[in-house]
A and B are shown apart, each in its own frame.
Chain A
Amino acid sequence: MSSTGLLITASIVLSFFFIFLFLLYYKYLSVKTEVDVAANNENYYDYSSYLIDKKKTSSAISLNSFIMNDSKSIGIRFLITSIVFFFIAGTFGVIMRVSLFYPHPTLFAGKEVLYDILTTEHAILMIYMWAIGSALGLAYYLLPRFLKLKSDKFGNFSSWSYWIWLLGGIFILLSRTSTRWYYYPPLALELTPYGAGSMNWLAVIGIEMIMIGVTISAIVLVRNIIYERSDSIPLSKMPLFAWSVLFTLIMFLASAPFLMTAMIMLFYDFVNPVFFTGSSSSPLFFAELFWTWGHPIVYIAILPQFGLIYEILPKFTGNKVYSYTSGVIALGLLLPLSELVWGHHLMESGFGIEWGLFFSTASLFVVIPSAITVFNYIGTMWTATKIRITIPMLFVINGIMDFVIGGITGVITAVLPLNEQTHGTYWVTGHFHFVFMGITVGIAFASIYMLWPSLTGGRVYNRRLAGWHFALTAVGSMIMSMGWTVGGFLGMPRYVSGYFARYQIYQDVAIIGGVIIGIGQLFFLANLLLSMSAAPQTETSNALEDAYKNLSMAGGE
């Protein structure tokens, strides 16, 4: 394209972009003025608090959520976006799995690098966009009611954080990086298709933007929990979900700087490699910086869901959580432990037997808070007089079961001798897919089903479709992760687009599971389509938001 043509194209594109921005701003102004006037008439000084107290409209899915800055709208933004990215990354996962049907690459024959891209995009988008996004969305959506916020301030900052986070995710998608989710330097610095991808630098910027966005959100949310909490709710009576969000965000704020620093240094290394590949440095230095963040992130991805289980369980068992205090203590114990166990990701890196023993022992201590949490759930169900089995409850029970299996497979792989066998195999993949499919995915969907009437403006979800969604997700993830776990124990290496023929049975079992999960998510979409096409049937309240009432009520489940 000649320079003249380029200039003309650029100016036309920019004009359309500015017209779009103007329309968006016009829409924002008209909606905001309307709500501001209404809020003023009711003596509210900010419209967000007015919306949360008086209006239920801002709690439903609509385009208005993308221009209003109250907590609920921002929560819906995060939720919608994280669901979109869940389906994008899920499609990548299913295609990647199908390509492994034969030991030799067939679907990607001759272009195996596509498998690397799919793996990387699946991992990064699932963790940063789906796990963190859905947790932030649910936190923004639920906390105002849980804490009876005095005022809902700093919506602008939350809005900025959302857009920065979204742009970061889009950058990562556009970069088509194949560097794996941990960005190890000698590979990450090679900007070729068979290195980390020609545009890996964009992925580094994307991660940095995601971290900046989530940091802003984290500060706003922590501030809401500490300062804007109603005076009638002391810390000792705060709902467990609020506790889990507080601990998660402190964990995030404590560990995110390690990754942000490492990524800036990595970006400098593109231009002038001094930090990680220079003569006086070592790539292991990056690995240590990364895993100081990389281990807490896996707790960040499940801790809010632990809190949600504490909120969902009592609605269907009809009693209180078995032990509130031990629940808080267990969630809090994960906070220091998460920072002490990162070395178990690097046990084969040769940093010495002393460090190996230290991290191995520290990893064993993680069992204590996890077991307290699980026994707390079991105690809550055990002491119930009658348990109502509903779709969210099924997701919760399945999540607890998956977490037990995933937790045990995780802890024993942190034992130093066993790690020699399972390091870098599908055992690890099986371990964290048990946990993530059971807890992160399952509990997020359980919460979405509980919030369904509010999110859709009074619709009821189709129980049959939701049941199929649950059954296929649970059974599929069990088959898939079990195939990986068994194959991985026998030495099946992960992250490769081909494998030895003797592992084919385990791969094929995992493929069946993965396809079943993929089909299951289509039932969720069908449910969304069907129930939202129908007329509203119930009120727009839901049981989950009513944190101080245990028994289930009309609307929701």
Chain B
Amino acid sequence: MAGKAGIVLVVTILLLSGFSLLYVFNAPTQTAGGLTDPSNLPVKGTMNITIYADSGGWNYSHGPINPTLYIPLDYIVTFTVIEEDNLPHTLTINKGAKENSGASLTLVSSGQLTQVPGHVAKATYEFFTTGVYTYWCTFHPATMVAQIQVNATASNGTTANSSAVNSAVPFHSFQPYSNFVEPVSMMIMKTMKTAAVMVH
């Protein structure tokens, strides 16, 4: 019994030391996931993207929900984020097909985008490497999450509202937040929208 315990102990010590070292070596070593724009980037053009921030999903009441954005490389993109409900939102991006809070860059913070429906916040950013990015809201990562595709060629120069894009999971089949968590806020939001229409 004790003999086995000794072997187990030694193997545990060696394994744990190795794994701990590997774990530390995999620590994030860049702020904002290395996404901050370096200076002196080449600029090939500009483009504008307007997007509505709603806890049900990006562009929840404006066309396709959580659209995939196609952005050419080295274009200065101006993101115009419009508050739709009265909840805090951020526009946060990171490299990769999934949201990753450890290596993310927040373009629009909840302080810049106030919780007043209709408020507009703008941020510019230039994607300097190609690949798949994720843009999401740190407050609603389950619903407000979609991809950005950065391509080297600016052939089609598409915009955010292209109807060819959609996320893989149909949104309306599963709505955890709007169905269970935030019915009250949705109700308030709808009331305020109605009120806004009536004022106009």
Residues of A within 8 A of B (CB): 1-4, 60-63, 80, 83-84, 87-88, 90-92, 95, 110-111, 113-114, 117-118, 121, 173-174, 176, 192-194, 197-198, 456-457, 459, 525, 528-529, 531-534, 536
8 contacts between A and B (CB under 8 A): A3-B176, A84-B12, A91-B18, A91-B20, A525-B10, A532-B7, A534-B3, A536-B2
- Whether a CB of chain A sits under 8 angstroms from the CB of B5 is yes
Contact B174 A3 (CB under 8 A): yes
Residues of A within 8 A of B24 (CB): 92, 114, 117-118, 121, 176
Contact B2 A456 (CB under 8 A): yes
Which residues B129-152 have CB closer than 8 A to chain A?
142
Residues of A within 8 A of B7 (CB): 529, 532-533
Residues of A within 8 A of B20 (CB): 88, 91-92, 173
Provide the bound-state CA to CA distance between A528 and B5, in Å.
10
CB distance from B171 to the nearest CB of A (A): 11
Residues of A within 8 A of B28 (CB): 193, 198
Contact A80 B9 (CB under 8 A): yes
Main secondary structure of the interface of A (DSSP, over half): helix
Contact A91 B21 (CB under 8 A): yes
**In the complex, what residue of chain A is closest to B99 when comparing beta carbons?**
A1
Residue with the highest number of chain A CB atoms closer than 10 Å, among B6, B16, B25, B28: B6
**In the complex, what residue of chain B is closest to A455 when comparing beta carbons?**
B2
Residues of A within 8 A of B176 (CB): 3
**In the complex, what residue of chain A is closest to B102 when comparing beta carbons?**
A198
**In the complex, what residue of chain B is closest to A173 when comparing beta carbons?**
B20
Residues of A within 8 A of B10 (CB): 525, 528-529
Residues of B within 8 A of A84 (CB): 12-13, 16
CB distance from B96 to the nearest CB of A (A): 12
Contact B2 A60 (CB under 8 A): yes
Main secondary structure of the interface of B (DSSP, over half): helix
Contact A62 B5 (CB under 8 A): yes
Provide the bound-state CA to CA distance between A113 and B17, in Å.
20
**In the complex, what residue of chain A is closest to B7 when comparing beta carbons?**
A529
Which residues B1-59 have CB closer than 8 A to chain A?
1-3, 5-7, 9-10, 12-14, 16-18, 20-21, 23-25, 27-32
Contact B9 A528 (CB under 8 A): yes
**In the complex, what residue of chain B is closest to A91 when comparing beta carbons?**
B17
Provide the bound-state CA to CA distance between A361 and B188, in Å.
68
Contact B6 A528 (CB under 8 A): yes
Contact A193 B31 (CB under 8 A): yes
Given the known A-B contacts A528-B6, A532-B3, A532-B7, are A88 and B16 also in contact in the complex, defined by CB atoms under 8 Å? yes
- Whether a CB of chain A sits under 8 angstroms from the CB of B190 is no
CB distance from A172 to the nearest CB of B (A): 11
CB distance from A449 to the nearest CB of B (A): 15
CB distance from B140 to the nearest CB of A (A): 11
Contact of B29 among A63, A113, A529, A534 (CB under 8 A): A113
CB distance from A218 to the nearest CB of B (A): 27
Contact B6 A114 (CB under 8 A): no
**In the complex, what residue of chain A is closest to B6 when comparing beta carbons?**
A532
Residues of A within 8 A of B9 (CB): 61, 80, 83, 528
Contact B2 A61 (CB under 8 A): yes
- Whether a CB of chain A sits under 8 angstroms from the CB of B193 is no
**In the complex, what residue of chain B is closest to A190 when comparing beta carbons?**
B31
Contact B169 A194 (CB under 8 A): no
Contact of A92 among B5, B21, B32 (CB under 8 A): B21
Contact of A61 among B5, B25, B169 (CB under 8 A): B5
Contact A457 B30 (CB under 8 A): no
Contact of A194 among B6, B17, B31, B102 (CB under 8 A): B31
